[in-house]
């Protein structure tokens, strides 16, 4: 199988991880990059030895010579860039948040479906080693039917120095980070029928909410809580760990700080270490996220090469984005939101 050629748009803070991971992915390499900021283009082009460089995505698509595009820009440009990819019949990966609104996202999924091109959202958190370990333990059946869950991300880590735009938006933690936690809740306990949310802003230096508590009714009948905070000052900083509690009819699962996985089943308790690998280019504490970037990019290439829908396809991600939109609406108005009616 010939190596697939990719182009990356958006050479910012997070794209460095994606570029490192592309070097490790089997069956693909990046042949062209684009950023409207010439300084970022030079930094990334020089660091990764990419000769073909563009400040205009339309010019890069017009020149062609690549099999897929990896859109690593912030959300404002996602709709236009995904449409551009579809119009050139180029399969696209798009970073989260997929779109500013659910109706934009639906249009992006539709345009790619009409063009017959695969579309995947770079929703990488479900690909983290500890999250996969929880899912595997649940699927083994040892805790029986899960009836309750908690998906918790509470931190005081300074995300604003690397990503200053996070302090400036009207919306913050649900759209930026809670989106991952909601996706993990869907991945583990299945799709959601209704949602209720409350939010707060604790840090006076930012515009959006930095705390959210969300109650989910899953279609399976299970209930879960997604709680996220960037205002939690803890003795040992857990960034960027998602902690999980699951109670089932026969036992329970606890993923606790330090990647400790405890599975309590009728035949006893098993404790294991679900730590991610520290890839050669990775750095703590980001290594958990960095490893999942490699995993999701390899998944994309495997699906492109051998066929099949990706785990976090555009269509799948509509169900996660609906939860984000519903959480803001519920927090603003106080009432529960019917998710099925949004999709
Ligand atoms: P950033 O602002 O550092 O980088 C974005 C880059 O895109 C900038 O260099 C900008 O010049 C460029 N750009 C924007 N619009 C463009 C366009 N139309 N054409 C060409 N270049 C364009 O942002 P970031 O922190 O790297 O975040 C990028 C995306 O990655 C965001 O959507 C963010 O939410 C997401 N992100 C995801 C994870 C994850 O784990 N999945 C982690 C961090 C950030
Ligand atoms: O942008 C966010 C993400 O997707 O993962 C962590 C992050 O970088 C800061 O919240």
| ipTM for the predicted complex | 0.99
Give nearest CA residue, ligand 1 atom 32: 74
Token duo for residue 155: 């931190």
* pLDDT over 90 (residue 1): no
Segment 3-22 shows an average pLDDT of 98
Segment 183-189 shows an average pLDDT of 99
Write the pLDDT tens digit of every residue in 106-124. Answer: 999 999 999 999 999 999 9
Is residue 192 a contact partner of residue 219, using CB atoms and an 8 Å limit?
A: yes
Residues with CB under 6 A from ligand 1: 9-15, 34-37, 40, 57, 72-75, 77, 95-96, 122, 124, 163, 165, 176, 289
Is residue 82 a contact partner of residue 94, using CB atoms and an 8 Å limit?
A: yes
- Which DSSP string corresponds to 123-160? --GGGSHHHHHHHHHHHTTTT-SEEEEEEEEE-----T
Residues with CB under 6 A from ligand 2: 159, 163, 176-177, 180, 240
The pTM for the full model equals 0.99
* pLDDT over 80 (residue 64): yes
pLDDT band at 2 (very low <50, low <70, confident <90, very high): confident
Token duo for residue 174: 């649900």
| Mean pLDDT estimate for the chain | 98
| Nearest atom within ligand 2 for CA of residue 162 | 8
Token duo for residue 11: 């050479």
> Residue 191 and residue 96: Cα distance in Å, rounded?
19
Instruction: Give the CA distances from residue 277 to residues 238, 283, 292, in Å, rounded to whole numbers and listed in that order.
Output: 17, 11, 10
> Residue 221 and residue 217: Cα distance in Å, rounded?
7
């Amino acid at each position: 199988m010939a190596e697939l050629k990719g182009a990356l748009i958006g050479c910012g803070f997070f794209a460095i991880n994606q570029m490192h991971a592309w070097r490790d992915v089997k069956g693909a390499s990046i042949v062209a990059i684009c950023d409207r900021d010439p300084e970022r283009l030079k930094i990334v082009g020089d660091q990764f030895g990419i000769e073909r460089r563009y400040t205009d995505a339309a010019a890069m698509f017009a020149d062609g010579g690549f099999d897929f595009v990896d859109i690593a820009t912030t959300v404002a440009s996602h709709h236009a860039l995904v449409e551009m990819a579809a119009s050139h019949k180029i399969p696209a990966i798009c970073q989260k948040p997929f779109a500013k609104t659910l109706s934009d996202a639906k249009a992006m999924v539709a345009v790619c479906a009409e063009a017959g091109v695969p579309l995947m959202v770079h929703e990488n958190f479900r690909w983290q080693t500890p999250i996969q370990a929880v899912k595997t333990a649940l699927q083994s059946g040892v805790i029986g039917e899960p009836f309750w869950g908690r998906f918790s991300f509470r931190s005081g880590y300074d995300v604003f120095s690397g990503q200053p735009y996070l302090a400036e938006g009207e919306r913050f933690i649900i759209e930026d980070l809670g989106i991952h936690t909601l996706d993990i809740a869907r991945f583990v306990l299945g799709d959601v029928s209704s949602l209720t949310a409350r939010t707060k802003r604790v840090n006076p230096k930012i515009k959006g909410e930095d705390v959210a508590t969300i109650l989910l009714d899953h279609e399976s009948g299970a209930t879960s809580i997604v709680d996220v905070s960037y205002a939690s000052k803890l003795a040992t900083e857990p960034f960027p760990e998602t902690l999980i509690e699951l109670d089932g009819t026969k036992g329970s699962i606890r993923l606790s700080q330090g990647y400790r996985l405890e599975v309590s089943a009728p035949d006893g308790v098993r404790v294991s270490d679900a730590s991610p690998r520290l890839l050669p280019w990775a750095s703590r504490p980001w290594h958990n996220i960095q490893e999942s970037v490699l995993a999701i990019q390899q998944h994309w290439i495997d699906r492109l090469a051998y066929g099949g829908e990706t785990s976090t396809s555009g269509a799948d991600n509509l169900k996660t984005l609906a939860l984000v939109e519903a959480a803001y609406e519920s927090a603003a108005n106080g009432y529960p939101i019917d998710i099925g009616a949004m999709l």
